[in-house]
Structure 1
Amino acid sequence: MDIEHVRSRFKKHFNDEVGSVYASPGRINLIGEHTDYNGGFVFPGAIDKGMVAEIKVNGTDKVRAYSIDLKDYVEFGLNEEDAPKASWARYIFGVCREIIKRGGKIQGFDTAFAGDVPLGAGMSSSAALESTFAFALNDMFNLGIDKFELAKIGQATEHNYCGVNCGIMDQFASVFGKEGSLIRLDCRSLEYKYFPFKPVGYKLVLLDSVVKHELASSAYNKRRQSCETAAAAIRNNNHPEVEFLRDATMDMLKEVKDQISAEDYMRAEYVIEEVQRVLDVCDALERGDYETVGQKMYETHHGMSKLYEVSCEELDYLNDIAKKCGVTGSRVMGGGFGGCTINLVKDELHDAFIKEAFASYKEKFGHEPKLYEVVISDGARKLA
């Protein structure tokens, strides 16, 4: 993230003024996919790619914002009817409105921002943008909002101003991220715990399939429904304590096998196993056992591909190449139907794996994947 670039653009657009500089990261999720709406655990970490914004109070009741990457400038007021048309500006406007709804007093400001989180690769560029502005405005106006509320402000911005009904994980990781640590977040209680992630001798590599299949939103809703159906069947079968699939065991699921469809059973099987895999990975990391971490990643991919059926040909192909090249762990990251695989690769295998992945993938699909090397880094912060 290039601070000097942001500072020079800010200076150019806002007449040599100097403001404060803030940053927030994108994120990866090592394991724990489709567990959030089942009351389970997710296991994200902040990465060394994100958003940087320079901000200065301008003495008016207007926000003047410049997106350096899009070369686009927008002005808007701070009342509900002032919502800007540009979708990127709605993230900033939404954060301002959510702070105001919570009683925070803010004034107009000038800002220029840029990011190096790849758009559409599942690393959550929008959460990085929301967290940057939530953190910055809280700091600049001394609002005293705690970190959890900052994450919720980002989430509410998505819900109320950007039309995305997301969970809390992306914003949470962006605000709470810590260098050298992943965070296990309990999506039901919102309790969290840091676990060491210092894979000496390994690299964390994302391979972007550069495809996005259109199924995603309808398929997501269908799978969510399957999970709720299975949880209700278990609950009604003498297990009143089962609120979400997170509370269920495979034995409980087997008891209701004849009462639910084969498809609902498969979906529930994946989720129950995935909740356990997150806990297994946490245990492995505390022992520094990255081989087990990798094995669990492959198990997750298999479950997402064969039981939850949210993978696609391109992602399965990248996963197969990883296996063939001896990569320690590989899986589809995110909701599925496109996006990236996340790979835990031994240093000595790294170059050969990337070379093979690029050549084989291009031969099969006619274009190369994109490569992102990521390092686990700190969350939202003031830079200058």
Structure 2
Amino acid sequence: MLKETVRKSFNERFHTTGAVYAAPGRVNLIGEHTDYNLGFVLPGAIDKAIILEVKPNGTESFNVRSIDYNEETSFVANGQKTPYAWANYILGVIMELKALGFTTPGFDCVFGGNIPLGGGLSSSAALESAFAFAINDMNGFGLSRMQLAKVGQLAEHNYAGVRCGIMDQFASLHGQKDMLMKLDCRSLDYELVPFKLDGYRVILLDTNVKHSLASSEYNVRRAQCEEGIATIIKRHPKVESLRDVTLEMLAEVKAELSPVVYNRCEYVVKENIRLNAACEALKKGDILSFGKEMYGSHEGLSKYYEVSCKELDFLVDVAKSVSGVIGARMMGGGFGGCTINVVAEANHDEFVAAAVAQFEKQFGKKPTVYDVVISDGARKIS
């Protein structure tokens, strides 16, 4: 078990015991590419996490060992990056806390994780959240979970060079068992939405594909959305982002937009509508209607936002062909990564067998299968 592995390694390395903390990865059930358009997302924390054991050492040095990478480093918080990419996330958290006026005393630490790397489950955000939560708790800084999420986000911007939104860190810190979080990406207000999956499971299928298009096309999509907004604002000056746009407003300017920009904007407007409908369905316990919105999300991402790929589309088509699968879609930025599927427990094995066999026949390799459970966010374990 991960906790025991971390504790054993910490004791062997530092000959003492410390406090143990955890922060999870996340999935996003619906609401993709809506975050930078200041719309809504619907993430949940999962039962796969980063776990760390940590103890102050009375110096200014941070001595940290990564079990997964089998690497160890010592650094001081002077802003100078370390040779280890994973350690820069931790340094980033310490430096962003420092920017807020909080000095973190040196500590010894060992950490490990069981979040699949590269599957779009936000292992980096879990790492940032685990350290931000632990440092805040150990030192009594008194920062809120939302403040800690912002610390993690800025650490990723400034020390990992990734201009991420706040959803991943937010979900890792605020997660609750059997609850999804409807996050307003403009105000950062959120509400908990019940996710009672009686008789159903959440299954991720990782294509193990990452097309090089992802980062460049992400910037293109952002620019296309901004182009659409600039045109709409001429008629509707109160509009700030696509989140404020209705389908009627969009129809008014259709002739002034290229077909591609119109499709991008229409997808985002409809995805926010789908997300709100999905939340209402969950509140009523209507899991079947929720699943239909997931399928609609994938169709929009594939045909209108054009961020899917043949591997993701293939897996969603397989999902549609197996009874008991009520919803499936690509998850994340696109051009690879995972599909997320809500499947009846009775059809779990049938679905996994069909997806693995058909994918292998089509692409010559197997997708990786992960069962995930919606779980609690960052916390102190012991």
Partner of 1:64 in structure 2?
A: 63
Shift of 1:112: 0.3
Shift of 1:101: 1.1
Partner of 2:284 in structure 1?
A: 287
Secondary structure of the corresponding residue to residue 309 of structure 1: coil
Correspondence list, 1:263-278, <5 A: 263-278=260-275
Distance (whole Å) between structure 2 residues aligned to residue 19 and residue 145 of structure 1: 21
Correspondence list, 1:42-57, <5 A: 42-57=41-56
Contact 1:105 1:141 (C-alpha < 8 Å) held by counterparts:
no
Correspondence list, 1:21-60, <5 A: 21-60=20-59
Q: Read off the aligned partner of 1:51 and give its amino acid letter.
A: I
Partner of 1:107 in structure 2?
A: 105
Partner of 2:215 in structure 1?
A: 217
Q: Read off the aligned partner of 1:112 and give its amino acid letter.
A: V
> TM-score, with normalisation over the residues of structure 2?
0.99
Shift of 1:105: 2.4
Contact 1:33 1:333 (C-alpha < 8 Å) held by counterparts:
yes
Counterpart among 354, 365, 368 of residue 367 in structure 1? 365
Distance (whole Å) between structure 1 residues aligned to residue 200 and residue 4 of structure 2: 31
Structure 2 residue 315 is matched with structure 1 residue 318: yes
Contact 2:322 2:351 (C-alpha < 8 Å) held by counterparts:
yes
Residues 245-303 of structure 1: per-residue CA shift (max 9 Å, x gap): 11111111111111111100000110000011110011000000000110000000000
Residues 319-338 of structure 1: per-residue CA shift (max 9 Å, x gap): 00000113100000001000
Report the count of equivalent residues.
381
Partner of 2:242 in structure 1?
A: 245
Partner of 1:7 in structure 2?
A: 7
Shift of 1:4: 0.8
Secondary structure of the corresponding residue to residue 80 of structure 1: coil
Counterpart among 152, 155, 166 of residue 153 in structure 2? 155
Distance (whole Å) between structure 2 residues aligned to residue 48 and residue 205 of structure 1: 12
Shift of 1:179: 0.6
Shift of 1:79: 1.4
Correspondence list, 1:163-182, <5 A: 163-182=161-180
Shift of 1:123: 0.4
Contact 2:53 2:109 (C-alpha < 8 Å) held by counterparts:
yes
Contact 2:79 2:91 (C-alpha < 8 Å) held by counterparts:
no
Distance (whole Å) between structure 2 residues aligned to residue 100 and residue 250 of structure 1: 45
Partner of 2:116 in structure 1?
A: 118
Residues 322-358 of structure 1: per-residue CA shift (max 9 Å, x gap): 0011310000000100000000001111111110101
The alignment's C-alpha RMSD in Å is: 0.7
Shift of 1:201: 0.5
Runs of 4+ in structure 1 displaced over 6 angstroms?
Answer: none
Contact 1:181 1:197 (C-alpha < 8 Å) held by counterparts:
yes
Contact 1:105 1:143 (C-alpha < 8 Å) held by counterparts:
no
Q: Read off the aligned partner of 2:49 and give its amino acid letter.
A: G
Contact 1:233 1:259 (C-alpha < 8 Å) held by counterparts:
yes
Residues 17-52 of structure 1: per-residue CA shift (max 9 Å, x gap): 100000000000000000011110000000000100
Shift of 1:311: 0.2
Partner of 2:131 in structure 1?
A: 133
Distance (whole Å) between structure 2 residues aligned to residue 6 and residue 28 of structure 1: 24
Distance (whole Å) between structure 2 residues aligned to residue 33 and residue 40 of structure 1: 10
Secondary structure of the corresponding residue to residue 51 of structure 1: strand
Q: Read off the aligned partner of 1:32 and give its amino acid letter.
A: G
Shift of 1:234: 1.2
Distance (whole Å) between structure 1 residues aligned to residue 309 and residue 103 of structure 2: 47
Structure 2 gaps of 5+ residues are: none
Distance (whole Å) between structure 1 residues aligned to residue 326 and residue 222 of structure 2: 30
Secondary structure of the corresponding residue to residue 236 of structure 1: helix
Q: Read off the aligned partner of 1:5 and give its amino acid letter.
A: T
Correspondence list, 1:284-363, <5 A: 284-326=281-323, 327-363=325-361
Q: Read off the aligned partner of 1:7 and give its amino acid letter.
A: R
Secondary structure of the corresponding residue to residue 328 of structure 1: strand
Identity score, percent: 54
Counterpart among 224, 228, 231 of residue 230 in structure 1? 228
Structure 2 residue 88 is matched with structure 1 residue 90: yes
Secondary structure of the corresponding residue to residue 143 of structure 2: coil
